[in-house]
Amino acid sequence: MGGQIWAKNAPEQGAVFSVTLPVFSLPRLIAPILGNEIPTGYFVILVVTELASQTGWLSDEVRAEHSQSVRDLLQPCLHPDLQVLLPKMGTAGAAELFFIVAVTYEIGGNAITGRIREQLDGSEYIRQAGLTCFTTYRSLEPIMRGPSESVEGFLGMVATGILRLIGEEFSARRINDGQ
């Protein structure tokens, strides 16, 4: 289902097990940008923007406020017929991660990340809040829709690939954070 399960152990206090389940359908969310298939010569990419505070997060409320402000800065960078900003997919330790799914030609990932970097680097809000942002992208392995495959099946395969990449992004940050 694309959720996450994790546990934290507190010495002499027991363990806390946490579970997240998505409240949206990723296949339905990406359907408008994919249509019935990926056009020849185009790729599906996952753009990842990492947000961190230079001084640490003062509170969960401040973190949520900054995250929403960055989400608001990211939205105008997108072409709605080719790119979609996903809802919050989880927490990556000290960083907030924002994911954009895009259908683009081979060098389009550089163009998208360039637009985002320009928007965030030029933001007075980011500077004043002491935030740092880093944006990169990863390409999904090519997925072709078979002649007898349903659109729903095709969208499900693409969504599964996207969720795999998102999971890898969270895992890499947990390893780097020592979790």
What is the per-residue pLDDT across 135-151, written as a single tens digit (0 to 9) for each? Answer: 999 999 888 877 888 88
Residues 96-122 pLDDT 10s: 999 999 999 878 899 999 999 999 999
What whole-number distance in Å separates Cα of residue 38 and Cα of residue 35?
Answer: 7
pLDDT digits (tens, 9 = 90+) for 33-89: 987 777 777 889 999 999 999 888 888 899 999 999 999 999 999 998 889 999 998
- pLDDT value for 164: 94
Identify which of 31, 14, 124 has the alpha carbon closest to the alpha carbon of residue 82: 31
pLDDT above 80: residue 129: yes
Asked if residues 98 and 70 have their Cβ atoms less than 8 Å apart, the reply is yes
Give all domains of the chain, ordered by start, each with its CATH number. 24-176 (3.30.70)
Higher pLDDT, 134 or 12: 134
- Residue 69 token pair: 């402000």
Exposure class string for 91-105: b at 16+ Cβ within 10 A, else e? bbeebbbbbbbbbbe
Look up residue 64 and give its two tokens.
């949520």
pLDDT at position 2 over 60: no
Q: Is it the case that residue 22 has pLDDT exceeding 70? A: no
pLDDT tier, 178 (very low <50, low <70, confident <90, very high otherwise): low
